[in-house]
């Protein structure tokens, strides 16, 4: 069971098959895929390099534009970004851009390439709070500009939801390790197990650094009041983190109810099935036509035999039994269960960090807070809540810091 969890679901291209896929690319002028990548990874260019058998050049294009290129290759919702724009859609189906990107970044690792270069030291120091994708990309960009960067995280290991959220079969921790290693090689110092606002104050950071970048993500799970304090209830992100840390070696009962219908819920139910849990019942607030999870994830879960019930809200929880009511019709559903996993969203925790959040977001566009020394990025900044957007925001926040600190002057 755990073997299935530990292995990547998507099969990787070989040199032969990647050439076949690259050959399908039309090599568009002003490639629309490149214009649609939020992080500017430039697929039009790296696919062209693959087509002309320059795998190393392809790796340079990816890595220099996106310090988390190997991660994005695996977790990007490409159907919403680059592949949606692909001209080949007008003929049959888009180029498998994510797959080609994965081939190239795997090639980069096999060839032991070290592409990113530390900038010439400019004698300024930045604290990044949070080591999720946005903090990591911002650090990589700043290091390449010559800043010194310390990255604080309350967790024991770096990576944010890359390490503690997205399941191993979609994003192996080894891939996360490798990309973080590249950033560490540029000189990033990791201060792990340190909660900013508790173990160290914002004032202390502001005194020590030229700027502080908050990349704290949505690190706390939401819990519905009726489930608080119950021993058989666990939140999605704590469950996913526990499974990933133990490489799938967890004890689970055979009858589990999951509440929630987003991509996180799909990761939970799929993980449960992959780990061999017999009865997995997912009860979802939204009805199928308004479903939040991507169609691909939903289909995957259904193919594994997850029971999905749409349109019900939990009304009562007592004695291992959850009672749900339908949102529109007069219907009650009672499920007796061994365990409940709540996938009803995550929220930002910004205590003592001196930023005001409304609905988990800052109240302004961009990255500069009213405090001239403090910047934000990642999920708490405006914009999509995806890894590739976190990368984009990381690059832009780094540029905003650089500009505020006088740029190259």
Partner 1 sequence: MINKDLSVEFLGVHFENPFCLSSSPVGNCYDMCKKAYDTGWGGVVFKTIGPKHFLIDEVSPRFDALTKEGTPFVGFKNMEQIAEHPLEENLADVKRLKEEYPNKVLIASIMGTNEEDWTELARLVEEAGADMIEMNLSCPQMTSHAMGSDVGSNPDLCRKYCAAVKRGSKLPMIAKMTPNIMDMVPVAKACLEGGADGISCINTIKSVVNVDLDRKIGLPIINGKSSISGYSGKAVKPVALRFIQQLRMGEGLHDLAISGIGGIETWEDAAEFILLGATTLQVTTAIMQYGYRVVEDMKNGLMHYMEEQGVDRLQDLVGLANANIIPAEELDRDYIVYPEINYDVCINCGRCYVSCYDGAHQAMEWDKENRKVRCNKEKCVGCHLCALVCPVKAISKGEVVLKPGRPGNPADKKV
Chain centroid, CA 124 distance in Å: 29
**Other beta carbons within 10 Å of 263:** 19
Please tell me whether residue 94 binds ligand FAD under the rule CB under 6 A: no
What's the min distance (Å) between Cβ of 65 and partner 1? 11
What's the min distance (Å) between Cβ of 399 and partner 1? 19
Instruction: Name residues contacting ligand FAD, limited to 372-401 (CB under 6 A).
Output: 378-379, 385-388, 390
For residue 205, the partner it binds in partner 1, ligand SF4, ligand FAD, none, with Cβ less than 5 to 8 A by kind, is: none
How far is residue 329 from each of residues 22, 73, 287, 315, 322, measured CA to CA in Å? 51, 42, 12, 14, 18
Reported for 75-81, long-range contacts at CB under 8 A and 24+ positions apart, including other chains, are 75/162, 75/166, 75/170, 75/171, 75/387, 76/386, 76/387, 76/388, 77/294, 77/386, 77/388, 79/294, 79/296, 81/36, 81/37, 81/38, 81/388
Of residues 13 and 239, the one with the C-beta less far from partner 1: 13
Cβ within 8 Å of residue 54, ≥6 positions away: none
Residue with the two structure tokens 């799938």: 248
Q: Which stretch binds ligand FAD (CB under 6 A): 37-45, 157-165, 304-312, 324-332?
A: 157-165
Contact string 264-283 vs ligand FAD (x = CB under 6 A): x--x----------------
What's the min distance (Å) between Cβ of 397 and ligand FAD? 10
What's the min distance (Å) between Cβ of 247 and ligand SF4? 35
Of residues 52 and 288, the one with the C-beta less far from partner 1: 52
Of residues 252 and 390, the one with the C-beta less far from ligand FAD: 390
Residues forming a β-bridge with 313: 325
For residue 52, the partner it binds in ligand SF4, partner 1, ligand FAD, none, with Cβ less than 5 to 8 A by kind, is: partner 1
Among 21, 96, 263, 282, contact with ligand FAD (rule: CB under 6 A): 263
Of residues 100 and 127, the one with the C-beta less far from ligand SF4: 100
For residue 54, the partner it binds in ligand FAD, ligand SF4, partner 1, none, with Cβ less than 5 to 8 A by kind, is: partner 1
What's the min distance (Å) between Cβ of 190 and ligand FAD? 11
Q: What residue ranges bind ligand SF4 (CB under 6 A)? A: 25-28, 31-33, 43-44, 47, 86-88, 94-95, 97
CA 381 – CA 7 distance, rounded (Å): 33
Of residues 32 and 187, the one with the C-beta less far from ligand SF4: 32
Among 60, 106, 148, 153, contact with ligand FAD (rule: CB under 6 A): 153
Q: Which stretch binds ligand FAD (CB under 6 A): 93-101, 146-154, 278-286, 323-331?
A: 146-154
Q: What are phi and psi of 358, to 5 degrees?
A: -120, 125
From 138, 127, 241, 125, select the one nearest 191 (Cα to Cα): 127
CA 362 – CA 377 distance, rounded (Å): 10
Of residues 118 and 222, the one with the C-beta less far from partner 1: 118
Please tell me whether residue 215 binds ligand FAD under the rule CB under 6 A: yes
For residue 151, the partner it binds in partner 1, ligand SF4, ligand FAD, none, with Cβ less than 5 to 8 A by kind, is: none
Among 67, 73, 166, 397, contact with ligand FAD (rule: CB under 6 A): 166
Of residues 61 and 83, the one with the C-beta less far from partner 1: 61
What's the min distance (Å) between Cβ of 186 and ligand FAD? 18
Q: What residue ranges bind partner 1 (CB under 8 A)? A: 14, 16, 20, 23, 27, 29, 48-49, 52-54, 56-57, 60, 64, 115
What's the min distance (Å) between Cβ of 136 and partner 1? 21
Residue with the two structure tokens 């996913």: 240
List of residues contacting ligand FAD (CB under 6 A): 75-77, 129-135, 152-155, 160-161, 165-166, 195-197, 215-219, 237, 240, 263-264, 267, 346, 349, 378-379, 385-388, 390
């Amino acid at each position: 069971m755990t073997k299935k969890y530990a292995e990547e679901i998507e099969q990787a291209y070989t040199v032969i098959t990647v050439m076949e896929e690259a050959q399908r690319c039309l090599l568009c002028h002003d490639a629309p895929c490149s214009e649609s990548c939020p992080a500017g990874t430039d697929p039009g260019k790296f696919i062209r390099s693959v087509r002309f058998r320059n795998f190393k050049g392809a790796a340079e294009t990816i890595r220099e534009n996106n310090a988390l290129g190997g991660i994005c290759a695996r977790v990007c919702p490409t159907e919403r970004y680059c592949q949606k724009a692909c001209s080949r859609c007008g003929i049959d189906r888009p180029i498998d851009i994510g797959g080609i990107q994965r081939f190239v970044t795997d090639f980069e690792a096999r060839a032991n390439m070290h592409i990113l270069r530390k900038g010439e030291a400019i004698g300024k120091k930045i604290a990044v709070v949070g080591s999720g994708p946005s903090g990591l990309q911002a650090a990589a960009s700043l290091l390449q500009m010559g800043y010194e960067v310390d990255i604080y995280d309350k967790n024991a290991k770096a990576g944010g939801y890359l390490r503690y959220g997205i399941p191993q079969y979609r994003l192996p921790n080894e891939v996360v390790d490798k990309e973080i290693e590249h950033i560490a090689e540029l000189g990033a110092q990791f201060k792990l197990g340190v909660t900013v606002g508790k173990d160290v104050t914002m004032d202390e950071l502001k005194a020590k650094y030229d700027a502080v970048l908050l990349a704290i993500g949505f690190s706390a799970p939401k819990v519905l009041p009726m489930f608080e304090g119950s021993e058989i209830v666990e939140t999605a992100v704590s469950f996913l983190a526990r499974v990933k840390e133990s490489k799938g070696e967890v004890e689970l009962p055979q009858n589990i109810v999951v509440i929630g219908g987003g991509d996180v819920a799909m990761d939970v139910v799929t993980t449960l099935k992959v780990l061999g849990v017999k009865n997995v019942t997912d009860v979802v607030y939204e009805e199928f036509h308004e479903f939040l999870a991507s169609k691909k994830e939903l289909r995957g879960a259904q193919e594994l035999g997850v029971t999905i019930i749409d349109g019900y809200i939990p009304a009562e929880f007592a004695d291992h039994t959850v009672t749900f009511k339908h949102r529109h019709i007069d219907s009650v559903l009672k499920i007796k269960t061994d365990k409940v996993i709540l996938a009803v969203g995550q929220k930002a925790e910004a205590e003592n960090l001196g930023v005001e959040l409304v609905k988990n977001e800052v109240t302004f566009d961009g990255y500069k807070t009213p405090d001239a020394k403090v910047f934000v990025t990642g999920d708490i900044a405006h914009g999509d809540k995806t890894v590739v957007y976190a990368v984009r925001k990381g690059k832009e926040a780094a540029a905003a810091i650089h500009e505020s600190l006088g740029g190259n002057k």
